[in-house]
Amino acid sequence: MRLTRPAVAFAAAALLAPSSGLLPGLGVAAEAQTSRSAGQPAGADASHQPAATPPASGPAGAAKPAAPANPNPVIASVNGQPITLDDVRAAAQSLPEDARNMPPSMLFPMVVNQVIDQKALLIAAEKTDLPRNPRVEKIMQDAANTALQNVYLTREISPLVTEQAVRDAYDKTIGSKQGEKEVHARHILVATEAQAKSIIRQLDHGADFAKLAAKLSTDKASAAQNGGDLGWFKQGDMLPAFSSAAFAMKKGQISQTPVHTQYGWHVIQVLDTRIAPPPGFDSVKDQIRQKLIQQDVRQVVQKALGGVTVVRYKPDGTPVTDSDKSMAPATGAPPVPNQSGPATPGSEPKAD
């Protein structure tokens, strides 16, 4: 089975995501269970144990060094097939996040039981004719192929997507650039242009903007609570007509011409402007990491394609000709979506 490129990128992202090891707390729970089965509480203080007989003096009675603890002990067995701590940790990684956040003392026995159930089901399935069923063989081979692809991508990409690479990408694309301009504005939204012009005349004669907004604005969300205040916004946050007017105004200025959008007629006052600082590294590092992974996946796929011979056929089985290839989209290029709505950002304005 061949993954589509988005699927390949997603699989690689999942494999490369930081996981703080494999739930190390489960090792503590496993140690506690092992200690209890031996009749000794986990972490028991040596002072609470019976005094040991001192070793005999001389080389013959010298104490032997303790054997190192097994980092991957057997936790259970099913028909003699062992289940190790690593098996339990791997199974725990596939659980939803809220389950993984359970206390290890509760999570550990639950996951052990799950792995035992899975092992028992596998043994039962192996006793049937399913392993020799062609359809099942195809499913199993597809799963094996997918696993191999994902592990290969992880091996190829992991050395590239480092913390330093993420930091360098941030410094190059975000941290070194000036922030975007923002406007703090309020507005009064009414149904007709005549109403908006009347409001502008009242404001020019000293009327209180907030009181008029609370009384007349049809945007009740902003008018009722804060006098039409929309807070700070970037140019792409609003509909084009609203943004164009607001970003062309100076601090304290009231629009002298009503601004028309699909929601009605706006009277705008700019309260302040500023250049927003770029987002901090911690707030965008995950997005940058995903972008780097996608870029590196494309490179790995292109390298793999360069090492093979690809022959394409049409659905009817006839070979794809050079003219057919010229009309096909570029390798790895996503299809252009049908733009059924506004192409500009901010089609859902804060000013409605």
pLDDT band at 10 (very low <50, low <70, confident <90, very high): very low
* pLDDT mean over 249-260: 96
More confident: 247 or 28:
247
How far, in Å, CA of 154 to CA of 14, rounded?
Answer: 9
pTM of the model: 0.54
Phi, psi at 10, each rounded to 5°: -65, -45
309 part of a folded domain: no
Listing DSSP states for 151-205 in one string gives HHHHHHHTTTS-HHHHHHHHIIIIITSPPPEEEEEEEEEESSHHHHHHHHHHHHT
Tell me, yes or no, whether 194 and 259 share the same domain: yes
* pLDDT mean over 183-204: 97
Tell me, yes or no, whether 185 and 134 share the same domain: no
How far, in Å, CA of 243 to CA of 238, rounded?
Answer: 6
Residue that terminates a domain, selected from 234, 259, 275 = 275
Q: Is the pLDDT of residue 2 over 60?
A: no
Tell me, yes or no, whether 95 and 201 share the same domain: no
Asked if 189 and 265 touch (Cβ cutoff 8 Å), the reply is yes
User: Residue 214: which of 202, 223, 225 has the closest Cα?
Assistant: 223
Q: Is the pLDDT of residue 7 over 90?
A: no
78 part of a folded domain: yes
What sign for the dihedral angle of Cα 91, 115, 88, 151? negative
pLDDT value for 79: 96
Tell me, yes or no, whether 106 and 24 share the same domain: yes
Tell me, yes or no, whether 118 and 222 share the same domain: no
Tell me, yes or no, whether 28 and 117 share the same domain: yes
49 part of a folded domain: no
pLDDT value for 311: 92
Q: Is the pLDDT of residue 73 over 60?
A: yes
295 part of a folded domain: no
Q: What is the CATH number of the domain that holds 255?
A: 3.10.50.40
Sheet holding 259-261, edge to edge: 229-234, 181-190, 264-275, 259-261
Tell me, yes or no, whether 28 and 102 share the same domain: yes
Tokens (6 digits) for 291? 């972008």
pLDDT value for 177: 79
CB atoms within 10 A of CB 141: 11
pLDDT value for 226: 87
Q: Is the pLDDT of residue 331 over 70?
A: no
Q: Is the pLDDT of residue 96 over 60?
A: yes
Residue that terminates a domain, selected from 220, 243, 275 = 275
Residue that terminates a domain, selected from 237, 253, 275 = 275
Per-residue b or e along 283-322, where b marks 16 or more CB atoms closer than 10 Å to that residue's CB: ebbeebbbebbbebbeebbeeeeeeeeeeeeeeeeeeeee
Q: Is the pLDDT of residue 161 over 50?
A: yes
Tell me, yes or no, whether 218 and 133 share the same domain: no
DSSP secondary structure code for residue 343 in this structure:
-
290 part of a folded domain: no
Tell me, yes or no, whether 24 and 75 share the same domain: yes
* pLDDT mean over 332-337: 41
110 part of a folded domain: yes
* pLDDT mean over 188-195: 96
Residue type, 33: Q
Tell me, yes or no, whether 204 and 129 share the same domain: no
How far, in Å, CA of 109 to CA of 63, rounded?
Answer: 36
Give 226-246 pLDDT, tens digit per residue. Answer: 899 999 999 999 999 999 999
236 part of a folded domain: yes
* pLDDT mean over 330-340: 42
Tell me, yes or no, whether 25 and 134 share the same domain: yes
205 part of a folded domain: yes
Number of structural domains (the chain) is 2
pLDDT value for 128: 97
More confident: 299 or 322:
299
Tell me, yes or no, whether 193 and 269 share the same domain: yes
Residues of the domain holding 109: 15-37+71-139
3-class SS at 35? helix
DSSP secondary structure code for residue 344 in this structure:
S
More confident: 133 or 333:
133
